[in-house]
Structure 1
Amino acid sequence: MATSLKQRLVAAVIDREGGYINHKSDRGGPTNYGITQAVARENGYHGDMRKLPKSLAVRIYEARYWNSIRLDRIAPISATLAEYLFDFGVHSGPGRAVQELQRTLNVLNGRGKLFADMPVDGAVGPTTLNALADYRKHRGGAGAHVLAESINGMRIAFCRGLAERDERQEDFAYGWFHRIVNLRNEVESDYGERLALSLYSEIDTGVA
């Protein structure tokens, strides 16, 4: 069976994050499958993070990072942009990812000729979606590519800033950059397809 972009993104991030980690320099504290303890608690899990069910991690990724950013609406406009926003949201929070999209669209609207400036509120509503559609209509596929890569560039700059402000974050800087630069290859490859098939088969059979 063919997998969806959402499934490939979730499978890739779970594979990349691995299992339980409690790194002394990680500001998020203990994590499992990349889910922080705080996020697990927000989603009703109060057990040992070492025992976080993989099926719950999948549901959290789908709801918190795909659904909340309305990537089902963004992916048809630009699958690449959806990929970048999803992983940016996982890494730095969905609100921050959306704010970068909104800020970038605001400077690409031809001083209001293509669409009006929007509030930078971190929420994807009709205004943001309509602006993105208008941008794509005017700039085409090449313009969508420029927008997506611009967002990825902003993300790299944001991660660099974290390491500049807190030297402990240099422990992660190369890994962050590697992740950002290679994301599309991981998600869109045959390996990404196999990861998604394996993960969702595992979830469907109730193993995880």
Structure 2
Amino acid sequence: MAGKKSPILTPLYGSDARFIHLAATVLDIEGGYSNHKSDNGGETQYGISLRFLKSEGKLIDLNQDGRADLDLDFDGDIDGADIRLLTKEAAKNLYYLCFWERLSLKTLPTFIDGAVLDQAINGGASAAVKMLQRACNRFAIVPDLKVDGDLGFKTRSRLWEIKSFGNGIPKLISNYRQEAEVRYNAIARADPKQVIFLDGWVKRARRLGDV
């Protein structure tokens, strides 16, 4: 609608330098608009799928006016037209609101924060945290972290225990990369049409924690 602008299009993350750097890295990986027939997320822009946009549209109302701020064309629904209107700034705002802030990723040790953000954007918050919990459990003789996708007190405490080890974070990053690769391969096995994406996914997994 002419003359209107959704608040999601205006930067919401202030001067958070760490987030800004990580978000730029993810944007470079994700690229722009795509609508691949094998992509179960449907139309996608900057890593934001139509399926995700619709789900978040039920939650994000920055104006508190009862209208989803992700209805970017103001036509009363969230559809492919809204994906195509999504800007880089709006995508970064969604990275920030839905993952960085919602999961309090800024409280995690450096490098694993970026790895979890990347995987949350790519595969969802629950999957990203479950991989983190499995990666942490690889340190224990008896794995005791519940793999439930909840980035709670026990998981956060374990991360800082691991950081206190001499090579704790590099080892954790290595574990996390392996967990991501396992997950990607499992997706391709379960749904053969996803194999077309597997090479890129594996390359992505092996770069996690580089920034």
Misfit runs of 4+, over 3 Å: 109-112, 182-185
Alignment equivalent of 1:38, drawn from 51, 64, 69:
51
State the Cα distance separating 1:98 from its structure 2 match: 0.9
Write out per-residue CA displacement over residues 156-189 of structure 1, whole angstroms, 9 at most, x where no aligned residue: 111112112222111111111222223555xx4x
Higher helix share: 1
Matched residue type, 1:101: L
| Distance in 2 separating the partners of 1:54 and 1:147 | 30
State the Cα distance separating 1:120 from its structure 2 match: 2.3
| Distance in 1 separating the partners of 2:103 and 2:177 | 16
Calculate percent identity across the aligned residue pairs.
Answer: 30
1:97 pairs with 2:141: no
Residue 109 of structure 1 contacts residue 135 of structure 1 at CA under 8 Å; is this kept in 2? no
TM-score (norm 1): 0.75
Matched residue type, 1:164: R
Matched residue type, 1:36: S
Write out per-residue CA displacement over residues 18-50 of structure 1, whole angstroms, 9 at most, x where no aligned residue: 222110000100011110112223233134121
Residue 173 of structure 2 contacts residue 209 of structure 2 at CA under 8 Å; is this kept in 1? no
Alignment equivalent of 2:39, drawn from 23, 26, 29:
26
1:56 pairs with 2:103: no
| Number of residue equivalences | 176
Q: Which segment is superposed worse, 102-111 or 49-58? A: 102-111
Q: Name stretches of at least 5 consecutive residues in structure 2 with no aligned partner.
A: 1-14, 58-67, 74-80
| Distance in 2 separating the partners of 1:105 and 1:56 | 33
SS in 1 for 2:38: coil
1:15 pairs with 2:28: yes
Question: Which residues of 2 match residues 22-171 of structure 1 at below 5 A?
Answer: 22-41=35-54, 42-43=56-57, 44=68, 45-46=70-71, 47=73, 48=81, 49-75=83-109, 79-111=110-142, 117-137=144-164, 139-140=165-166, 142-171=167-196
| Distance in 2 separating the partners of 1:181 and 1:168 | 22
State the Cα distance separating 1:136 from its structure 2 match: 2.3
State the Cα distance separating 1:89 from its structure 2 match: 1.2
| Distance in 2 separating the partners of 1:67 and 1:170 | 32
Q: How large is the RMSD of aligned CA atoms in angstroms? A: 2.2
Matched residue type, 1:104: A
SS in 2 for 1:15: helix
| Distance in 1 separating the partners of 2:209 and 2:112 | 10
| Distance in 2 separating the partners of 1:134 and 1:155 | 22
Query: Which structure has the higher relative contact order (CA within 8 Å, separation 6+)?
Result: 1
Residue 184 of structure 2 contacts residue 201 of structure 2 at CA under 8 Å; is this kept in 1? yes
TM-score (norm 2): 0.74
Q: Name stretches of at least 5 consecutive residues in structure 1 with no aligned partner.
A: 189-208
